[in-house]
Amino acid sequence: MDGKSTRPPTLDDALAALRRGEPIGLPTETVYGLAADAHDPVAVRRIYALKGRPSDHPLIVHVADALAASRWAGDWPEAAEALAEAFWPGPLTLILPRAANVPDEVTGGQDTVGLRVPAHPVAQALLRAFEGGVAAPSANRFGHISPTTAQHVRDEFGDAVPVVLDGGECEIGLESTIVDLSGETPRILRPGKISRPEIEAIIGPVAEGADGDSPRASGTLASHYAPRAQVEVLARAPLVARYKELQKRGQRVAALLRGQPFKDIEGEVLPADLAGYGHALYAALRRLDARGFEVLLAELPPHTAAWAAVNDRLRRASAPRDADGT
């Protein structure tokens, strides 16, 4: 594609860029990814450089179907087959022992690999035409808010990523559930739309959170998904009091409320339902951040299994920024 062209990039443009070793912006149902040929170590290193991502922080390989995924794994247990049949294509990443030919750049030097079959029709069309896997972390600078529109990706990278396929707003808006199947006990390393009860209904009991033997996984650092503004998560009454306190100090503060506005509180109101809230969260954080607020006060969501992914993302967005050097 001519870098000066104003026409939207096409699937052919994206395929050509991938085959040249260039990363592209790719829509999925969760968030937009920064995708490159997962079998090309040089192309994968370009992802790390663009994002400013530590080279030992592994990437997720996206493929067209479960058969393609199994070729990236050194072992394909019954639990992987059952979860793939239940949830793929969809917002589920499986961590499995890696196949011998998977580049270290993809795995962060570990002996495991993360695999996902996205459901977005644009991603599916590209993966089927490419006939390979793409490493595709979220298309944002490392540790920052994930993108849920093509414009978010363009805002993040500009001319550094000229090919961004526009698939509209991401349906889900939060990253995939990550399930580690590489150890003796299946573990959810990152919550997502597919909940623990749904997973346990397919493969039986699973643990939550990493243990000492768990591999490193995408999006699991203490500080992640963060705007430039400081984020605090509070129940509504303490949030209102904190808002007034910060205003009196002369700080620029905004609130992220759920379901109902509050008089004289500046900010955004997200839907009260889980699907609507998750879909809108990152875009709202980006809009408020772009307005230059110093502090964002997020109303505490329900503490239920269904809301685990939202609570996880808000907790990481509000963590101290030096928790992991980000």
* pLDDT at residue number 54: 87
* pLDDT at residue number 210: 85
Residues whose CB falls within 8 Å of the CB of residue 206, separated by 6 or more in sequence, listed in order: 179, 185, 186, 187, 188, 196, 199, 200
* pLDDT at residue number 212: 78
* pLDDT at residue number 323: 37
Calpha distance 36→180 (Å, rounded): 23
The matching CATH number, chosen from 3.90.870.10, 3.40.50.970, 3.40.50.2300, 3.20.20.70, for 11-208 is 3.90.870.10
List pLDDT tens digits, range 17-62.
999 999 999 999 999 999 999 999 999 999 999 999 888 899 999 9
- 11-208 and 230-317, same CATH topology: no
Give Cα separations from 316 to 170, 223, 278, 321, 324 (angstroms). 21, 5, 15, 9, 11
CATH of domain 230-317: 3.40.50.11030
Structure tokens at 296: 């964002």
List pLDDT tens digits, range 55-83.
889 999 999 999 999 999 999 999 999 99
What is the layout of strands, in order, in the sheet containing 207-208? 24-26, 33-37, 134-135, 60-62, 112-116, 92-97, 177-180, 187-190, 207-208
pLDDT exceeds cutoff 70 at 222: no
Calpha distance 215→275 (Å, rounded): 29
Q: Where are the chain's structural domains?
A: 11-208, 230-317
Range 225-237 average pLDDT: 92
Q: How confident is the model at residue 325 (pLDDT cuts 50, 70, 90)?
A: very low
Q: How confident is the model at residue 216 (pLDDT cuts 50, 70, 90)?
A: confident
* pLDDT at residue number 5: 60
The pTM is what?
A: 0.93
Q: Say whether 234 sits in a helix, a strand or coil.
A: strand
| Average pLDDT, rounded, for the chain | 93
